[in-house]
Chain A
Amino acid sequence: MSDHLSEDQFAKCIVGRSTRAELQHIRECPECSVELERFDKTLSLFRTAVRDRIDDRVALHPPDETPLRRREAGISTLRWAWVTAAIVALVIPLFMSEKKPQKVDEQLSTETNPVAIMDRVNLHLSRTVPAPMEPMMSLIPSDELISTPGGVR
């Protein structure tokens, strides 16, 4: 051991990792002992000051808004989100239903168009069977369909 503790040895002693030789030196060297005690006291003052400061703060300001209450606030926000989503879900079909009359209006407008009306009439007249019976025609095999004057045999 040299005359006094090195910086590393001093730090080890403060942290509580000193060896027997270092402890022996501290017991025998008044200078190192005083220096160690002074530094340790300074750290203790710092620790006490921080602790007292926080203790006073906690005593004066108890946790009036705990994380759980914030969590509850979060849940209410979630509730609001659900309500908004429900409203949107209800409103969208209303808009959709409002669009349907527009389609009817468009259909009416095509029916008032003379050209469109004539096309529909021609289509109707060119049918071999009445329109309501067309689905039934698909049930009959094509080779059984013989076009003869007088219709289907």
Chain B
Amino acid sequence: MKPSTTSGFIALNMGNPALEFEDFDRLVQQYRTRVLRFLFAFVGDMDLAETLTQDCFLNAYKSRGSFRGDCSVHTWLMRIAINLVRNHTRSRRFQFWRKARRVDSNEIHDWPDRGISPEDRTVVHEQVQEVWEAAKTLSEKQRTVFLLRFVEDLDIAEIAQSTRLTENAVNVHLFRAVRGIRKRLGKQK
């Protein structure tokens, strides 16, 4: 039941975070996919997610001196990504929603098939679309913790560090998000 946590990245470089920033290109290669994945899942627009990912690493490079090593580099990057996406959705809220709605339908047809049968593919597409649509109805915080948990597989402590919320608050938002998604999926059945 519990999603397996694949984020064992906390450990190795925590001893000396400066080592990670020494070769910034390598750091980008190491974390780009995770940051892009979260941002894409949040905004639903690949081009916008790419742009925000670039901005995320650019901001990280500029403020690398302020990284104190009290969390993993990945958590720190996710914090920057969350701030970026928050600023974006707040400053260009209407454009964002309009664009997101237009792009979603295109993006959803681009889901990889991975060799499944056409029938199964249709079912999978429908289910993915339903979760996608349901996630869009969540509040910003609920959607953030939901995606960090169920797309990024972060544990509660890591989500709390990334979002600057307490673990209790993360749990509350997560429960509400799951309830909201389930309610929404139930309505569509």
Residues of A within 8 A of B (CB): 7-8, 10-18, 36, 39-40, 42-43, 45-47, 49-58, 61, 63, 65-68, 70-71
Partner of A45, one of B2, B46, B124: B124
Do A53 and B28 contact each other (CB < 8 Å), given the known contacts A36-B1, A40-B1, A65-B54? Answer: no
Say yes or no: is B127 at the interface (Cβ < 8 Å to chain A).
yes
- Could you tell me the distance between the alpha carbons of A40 and B32 in the complex, rounded to whole angstroms? 27
| B150 nearest in chain A by CB position | A43
- Could you tell me the distance between the alpha carbons of A50 and B41 in the complex, rounded to whole angstroms? 7
B184 to chain A, nearest CB (A): 11
Which residues of A lie under 8 Å from residue B54 when comparing CB positions?
Answer: 65, 67, 70
A129 to chain B, nearest CB (A): 69
B127, A46: Cβ atoms under 8 Å?
yes
Q: What interface size band does chain B fall in?
A: 35 or more
B90 to chain A, nearest CB (A): 23
Q: Which 7 A-B pairs have the closest CB atoms?
A: A16-B2, A67-B57, A11-B178, A46-B131, A11-B175, A52-B112, A54-B37
Which residues of B lie under 8 Å from residue A14 when comparing CB positions?
Answer: 1, 178
Further contacts, 11 of them, CB under 8 A, given A11-B179, A47-B153: A10-B182, A11-B176, A15-B174, A36-B1, A46-B150, A49-B111, A53-B40, A54-B36, A58-B32, A63-B29, A67-B57
- Could you tell me the distance between the alpha carbons of A121 and B37 in the complex, rounded to whole angstroms? 89
B151, A46: Cβ atoms under 8 Å?
yes
User: Can you show 9 pairs from A to B with CB atoms below 8 A apart?
Assistant: A11-B174, A11-B179, A15-B171, A42-B127, A42-B131, A55-B112, A57-B40, A66-B28, A68-B24
Say yes or no: is B61 at the interface (Cβ < 8 Å to chain A).
yes
Partner of A42, one of B36, B149, B185: B185
Partner of B151, one of A51, A55, A68, A70: A51
Which residues of A lie under 8 Å from residue B41 when comparing CB positions?
Answer: 50
Do A58 and B33 contact each other (CB < 8 Å), given the known contacts A15-B171, A49-B111? Answer: yes
Do A63 and B178 contact each other (CB < 8 Å), given the known contacts A47-B151, A54-B37? Answer: no
